Amino acid sequence: MPNLSVKELNYIKDFLSWELLMVKKCNQYANQEVDPVFKGVFNNAGQVHQQNYFNLLTYLQQQPQGGMVQ
């Protein structure tokens, strides 16, 4: 895998933050929802964002030296 530039790492850091925020928001909305259909929609969306977060994290962990270009 090619090394990532500092700018690319910052983009991924932003993506991680956005995905984590969406997981939290989806969980919050699911907990507030009384309609089981909408509750399920929010739970499913939260799971998708959580999987995206873990995929990005796994990608970063596979990068040599944290992925930074030396």
- Local confidence band at 65 (pLDDT 50, 70, 90 cut-offs): low
What's the sign of the alpha-carbon dihedral 53, 26, 18, 15? positive
Q: Does a structural domain hold residue 68?
A: no
State the chain's mean pLDDT as an integer: 89
pLDDT tens-digit map of 32-41: 999 999 999 9
Domain count, the chain: 1
Q: Residue 68 above 80 pLDDT?
A: no
Specify whether the CB–CB gap between 32 and 46 falls below 8 A. no
What domain range is 19 assigned to?
6-63
Q: Does a structural domain hold residue 32?
A: yes
Output the pTM of the full model. Answer: 0.83
Q: Does a structural domain hold residue 57?
A: yes
Q: Does a structural domain hold residue 37?
A: yes
